[in-house]
Amino acid sequence: MSSTTPHHAQSAPPRVPGRTLALRGVLALLLGAAVGVIGTVSHRSEWAGLPTGLALALLLTLSTAVLCRAWSGTVTLLTAGAGWLVAVQVLSSTGPGGDVLVPAQVVGYVWTYGGLLLFAVAAFLPRRWFSDDGGEQQ
């Protein structure tokens, strides 16, 4: 007896109506911007000489990237990444009084380029990790 379902069948991602996808895109953009602002403001915080602010900001960035990828796929992930990037770049520029939130130091480079790298990592994670069947094969 043969089954009509192939052994290694993967479920297709659910179809999301265009309006819902657009709303999710706007929400992902706002979430990415909020995480970019929070991370930029807090990435230089230290506790007992350790860069805890940077570690927490990068962890928040990674969790946002994975959340957006799992929520609606790559489009939402890229939208959140765009919001994050715009927020970080705007806050990295010199302010009216000459202040800079992200100076040209190691911690600033790790925050800026590390955050971008984390969005790229989330983009290249296996699709089966985000499927409804939990990656199980029948």
pLDDT tens over the chain, length 138 residues: 555 555 555 555 556 566 777 888 889 999 999 999 888 888 777 788 788 888 999 999 999 998 888 887 888 899 999 999 999 888 887 777 766 666 777 778 888 899 899 999 988 887 877 776 655 554
Cα 82 to Cα 85: distance, rounded to the nearest angstrom: 5
Spacing of C-alpha 122 from chain mean position: 7
Q: What is this structure's pTM?
A: 0.74
Cα 12 to Cα 22: distance, rounded to the nearest angstrom: 20
